[in-house]
Amino acid sequence: MFTVLKPGVAADLSGAAYSLFLSVGAETFRQDRSSTAISTSHPEGYTRSAAVFPWSELEWNRWTINSGLRYERQRTEPKDSVTISDERVDSESIEPQISVLCRLNERWSAFGSVAFVNRMPAVDELYDGFAGGAASLDLKDEQDKNVEIGLSHKSTALLRADDELTVKMTLFRNHINDMIVRTNLPAPSPSYTNIDKAYLRGGELEASYLAGDWQFGAAVSVVDGDDQDGDILDTRPNDRVVLTAAWQASAAWKLGMPSILAAGRDKPDGTHRGGYGVHDIHATYSPQQGALEGVELQVGIDNVTDRDYVPATYISGPAPGRNF
């Protein structure tokens, strides 16, 4: 169970030759982690956090520049069912970021971004006792520097007067300090620890075609990574293709079917995780008039074929089967 609140205010500081909007927001978050069966690998606990963040959006000639800063405090504490520790852990982070987009012409744009992101330890990592490991109360925050560059293209009236094609290619490199990883060691060693440095790099190619009430999409994602010693990271996700199809059946109803086709991945310990294909179906109902105007209801079935699979990022499996 979790609760999220995100109030915010905005100011228009635009001038004659540019537009500038400044937003200031705050966020509170509360998560109550419970389990129907007590497990050392799925500890129960509470996570509470609060954050504030200013954000600016500047448009000038062909340029769009967005920048922001986020400050967050988090407190995590275990429930009584956790036997390896009863200590709570407090963390805080400051996260600046900036992104720049340049419209080269009517169809092509170039973009780039730099973001400094902190990931504070989660309940699982702090209080996990799987395989007899000790609590990991001394974990440092992951500190990520994420750099992206890319190109985007937009075309209209390709096959019919009202269609639209967008294509985007992105290359990224993440430099991670104090990356949190599982040790797989018994006590007194902690279940999780930090490694000094890690590097993730990869690319994404996305395409979307819109024609009338139909929208089709395809995306290819490839990721690789290693640590400061050149050893392959155990946290690399599967390379994958995501296919989507959506139909706007009416003004209020939208139906869609995304599919994930993932390649297999060799693990650093010499094992292999096989590839898989998972298909979902979902529907969105958003009335445009009447008493329910402004309300959105989403329903769906995940893993329609009830595929048994284990993603490369999982310690063990299987992943969830068919669920509504």
For the chain, what are the domain ranges? Answer: 2-233
Q: What pLDDT sits at residue 7? A: 63
Q: What pLDDT sits at residue 3? A: 61
Taking the C-alpha atoms of residue 185 and residue 289, their distance in angstroms, rounded to an integer, is 58
Model confidence, pTM: 0.82
Degrees (nearest 5) of the Cα angle 144, 146, 151? Answer: 170
Taking the C-alpha atoms of residue 11 and residue 20, their distance in angstroms, rounded to an integer, is 9
Please give the span between the terminal C-alpha atoms of the chain, in angstroms, as a whole number. Answer: 17
Q: What pLDDT sits at residue 314? A: 84
Taking the C-alpha atoms of residue 135 and residue 190, their distance in angstroms, rounded to an integer, is 5
The DSSP annotation for 76-93 comes to EEE-TT--S----EEEEE
Task: Say if residues 284 and 296 touch (Cβ distance below 8 Å).
Answer: yes
**pLDDT averaged per 10 residues in sequence order, the chain, 324 residues:** 63 92 93 82 91 95 97 95 92 96 97 96 88 86 96 95 96 95 84 92 98 97 91 91 97 96 91 95 93 91 96 85 95
Of residues 251, 308, 239, 246, the one with CA closest to residue 278: 308
Task: Say if residues 245 and 214 touch (Cβ distance below 8 Å).
Answer: yes
Both tokens of residue 305? 């074929």
Q: What pLDDT sits at residue 1? A: 54
One-letter amino acid of 223: V
Q: What pLDDT sits at residue 224? A: 94
Task: Say if residues 22 and 52 touch (Cβ distance below 8 Å).
Answer: no
CATH of domain 2-233: 2.40.170.20
Q: What pLDDT sits at residue 2? A: 53
